[in-house]
Amino acid sequence: DAGITQSPRYKITETGRQVTLMCHQTWSHSYMFWYRQDLGHGLRLIYYSAAADITDKGEVPDGYVVSRSKTENFPLTLESATRSQTSVYFCASSEVRTDTQYFGPGTRLTVL
């Protein structure tokens, strides 16, 4: 039972480069979420998706793009990475709108 996985687990990139973080879940959960976690801020919602081809902005969406062509995948793209996007990124999923969210292992991204 793989659950929810993220790749890569660690990534170092340079400012201005495009980076895509992958998220894959095997539960067929409808809802998927992307969060970033920074010291002193807790987890903040970037984007979420209610189903394939349905996405919407969260609290901190600027500089990020998402897509969801298949239920199981929810990639997050930084179109032109900035140093302020250095963070740990967590993907989460839930079966229904109001259910418990289950988190992936995270991707630690460093932008130089």
Partner 1 sequence: GQNIDQPTEMTATEGAIVQINCTYQTSGFNGLFWYQQHAGEAPTFLSYNVLDGLEEKGRFSSFLSRSKGYSYLLLKELQMKDSASYLCAVRNDYKLSFGAGTTVTVRA
Nearer Cβ to partner 1 (40/62): 40
Nearer Cβ to partner 1 (19/23): 23
Q: Which stretch binds partner 1 (CB under 8 A): 14-22, 38-46, 61-69, 73-81?
A: 38-46
DSSP state of 101: P
101 is a contact residue toward partner 1 (CB under 8 A) = yes
45 is a contact residue toward partner 1 (CB under 8 A) = yes
Strand ranges (E), 1-112: 4-7, 10-13, 19-25, 31-38, 42-51, 54-57, 64-66, 76-78, 87-94, 102-103, 107-111
Q: How far is the CB of 98 from partner 1 (least distance, A)?
A: 7
Q: How far is the CB of 106 from partner 1 (least distance, A)?
A: 6
Number of neighbours of residue 78 by Cβ within 10 angstroms = 20
